[in-house]
Structure 1
Amino acid sequence: ANIVFSSSAGVYGTPDVARVTESTATTPESPYGESKLIGEWMLWNERRRAELEGGSFTPVSLRYFNVIGSATGRIRDTSPHNVVPKVLEGLSAGRTPTIFGDDYATPDGTNVRDYVHVQDVALAHVAAAERLENGQPIESVYNLGSGAGSSTREIIEAILKATDSDQAPEVGPRRPGDPASIVADGTLAARDLDWQMRYSIDEMIASAVSAAGERD
């Protein structure tokens, strides 16, 4: 038996390295990140149990960084907790976008995150599943990240531009458990899962705006 597990960059908490690799320490600081790490532990334990009983169980954990955008069909980011859908829904309701903290040790003071397109994430799942099915060598964990970061302010301003909004974001207090910056090294995924950035940030956001318009 094999499984591809949807994990998260949240397992890393606040890393003390400029670029996170799969060997970076896992120290989650949010309940969400902790739940994903527990899920990984359960899979590793099941793999060990299968080995002891002479069987086989191969789990692969894909640690997503910040998934945004929309592709064809149902492949789209619709989580009300994620920044792009949240800002778009707020703008539709006439609310001002909020930046949670602008005093981080980052270029513009707002959180820096590694944004990836939802379709690229979906394609990585297919590649991992095919690799498992074909019995090819595969790592236990892969980071799905771009290797570059964009700040919260940059993302919100890009959304405002894409929606022709003249709103200006307001600044609120920091949220507990939010690291200043987290950016991934996706070298292993690029090697094994054809992982690559097929879209720019502006294209990712444009796809999300277009999908939101279709739903409206």
Structure 2
Amino acid sequence: MTWLVTGGAGYIGAHIVRALDGAGLTPVVVDDLSSGHAGFVPEGVPFVRGSILDRDLVERALRDHEVEGVIHLAGFKYAGVSVQRPLHTYAQNVEGTRALLEAMQSADVANLVFSSSAAVYGTPDVPLVTEDLPKRPASPYGESKLIGEWLIRDQAIATAASEHALRYTALRYFNVVGSGDPTVYDTSPHNLFPLVFEALIEGRTPRINGDDYDTPDGTNVRDYVHVADIAAAHVAAAQRLLTGQPIEPAYNLGSQNGLSVREIMDAMARVTGIDFTPEIAPRRPGDPDRIVATGELAARDLDWKNRYTVDEMVRSGWEARQAAR
């Protein structure tokens, strides 16, 4: 049983590839390496270099490898940057998803796990985000992910009576951290963990982007979830689709509690042994005050739970980054 992972050479995708292999599902990777790394793809895993915007390339990959399902991660994922680059964001995330769906239909591939985002909710005014909360994205990135969900939903409706009716689910999450493999680490120039790690390695003082948010310590609060838990949930969703079990259109992969940026900084100092007082920088545009989601539906259907403490998240990420030096 073969699954295509778009964006499978990226930080999250590479962990999903390993989790698929561990579950007895054969992974195939499509990635244009715009932010991924060929070295993150395990030896022996087929790797097709190219963009999901190239519909013909994707269809060939689906047919050549007799793919039964797709885990779709490829896209432009930086909420703050998307405010300055909305057209690029929509091209990659909306047009890319549309082209993928078209290739899947042509190749008779009818199972899809969509890697969405908690950014579809914008700035919720409730303590815990549930899947049925109104969607009010605060950035072009969040908007593009929501449109991606709509595209997939509409394609499922359109194909419902066909021989290869699309079955799908969307997994919504926010900050993915840590490492489940010492050879794979987060290389994003925008995510909090790698920004702090690089600053500490270079002897610079890490920065907090804004300390005037409407939160207890003034820094924004997010779900921080370990990448190995995220990978396991994607595989569980794929298995549920393959076996024909009932599945929700969307699941939150939430922590239930959330952590503030300042709490993360404190853990960074504890785990690395490097004492520092973070500098305070201006807010990034498009960043909401707080997004913390419940994971109850995912716990029920996908065995979702947080298996790592904040110190374990930091330690696994720090050790993987140190190993790459």
TM-score of the aligned structures, taking structure 1 as reference length: 0.95
- Bigger drift between 68-77 and 118-127 goes to 68-77
Question: Quick check: 1:77–1:118 contact (8 Å CA) kept in 2?
Answer: no
Equivalent in the alignment of 2:229? 120
Question: Quick check: 1:78–1:85 contact (8 Å CA) kept in 2?
Answer: yes
TM-superposed deviation, 1:43 = 0.7
TM-superposed deviation, 1:95 = 2.3
Structure 1: distance between partners of 2:297 and 2:185: 25
Question: Quick check: 1:8–1:63 contact (8 Å CA) kept in 2?
Answer: yes
Structure 1 moving runs of 4+ over 3 Å: 52-55, 73-78
Deviations 1:163-203 (A, max 9, x none): 22122101112222111111011000000000011111110
Aligned counterpart in structure 2 of residue 143 of structure 1, from 238, 247, 252: 252
- Bigger drift between 67-76 and 34-43 goes to 67-76
Aligned counterpart in structure 2 of residue 155 of structure 1, from 264, 288, 302: 264
Matches within 5 A, 1:83-122: 83-122=192-231
Structure 2: distance between partners of 1:158 and 1:118: 17
Bigger relative CO (Cα 8 Å, ≥ 6 apart): 1
Deviations 1:22-80 (A, max 9, x none): 00111111122122112111111211221255641012100012110000265543322
TM-superposed deviation, 1:146 = 1.0
Structure 2: distance between partners of 1:78 and 1:140: 30
Residues 1:175 and 2:175 are matched in the alignment: no
Residues 1:67 and 2:173 are matched in the alignment: no
Question: Quick check: 2:179–2:226 contact (8 Å CA) kept in 1?
Answer: yes
Question: Quick check: 2:205–2:277 contact (8 Å CA) kept in 1?
Answer: yes
Q: Tell me the amino acid that sits aligned with residue 132 of structure 1.
A: L
Equivalent in the alignment of 1:194? 303
SS of aligned partner of 1:61: strand
Deviations 1:67-107 (A, max 9, x none): 10000265543322211011101222222211111112211
Question: Quick check: 2:205–2:276 contact (8 Å CA) kept in 1?
Answer: yes
Equivalent in the alignment of 2:127? 18
Aligned counterpart in structure 2 of residue 79 of structure 1, from 178, 188, 210: 188
- Seen in structure 2, the aligned counterparts of structure 1 residues 72 and 197 have a Cα distance that, compared at 3 Å, is same
- Seen in structure 2, the aligned counterparts of structure 1 residues 74 and 23 have a Cα distance that, compared at 3 Å, is farther
SS of aligned partner of 2:128: coil
Q: Tell me the amino acid that sits aligned with residue 127 of structure 1.
A: A
Q: Tell me the amino acid that sits aligned with residue 233 of structure 2.
A: A
Give the superposed CA RMSD.
1.5
TM-score of the aligned structures, taking structure 2 as reference length: 0.64
Query: What is the percentage of aligned positions where both structures have the same residue?
Result: 59
Q: Tell me the amino acid that sits aligned with residue 41 of structure 1.
A: W
Structure 1 gap segments, 5+ residues each? none
Structure 1: distance between partners of 2:294 and 2:184: 24
Structure 2 gap segments, 5+ residues each? 1-109
Equivalent in the alignment of 2:314? 205
Structure 1: distance between partners of 2:162 and 2:113: 22
Residues 1:214 and 2:214 are matched in the alignment: no
TM-superposed deviation, 1:161 = 2.2
Residues 1:31 and 2:140 are matched in the alignment: yes
Structure 2: distance between partners of 1:35 and 1:90: 31
Question: Quick check: 1:101–1:174 contact (8 Å CA) kept in 2?
Answer: yes
Structure 2: distance between partners of 1:210 and 1:79: 17
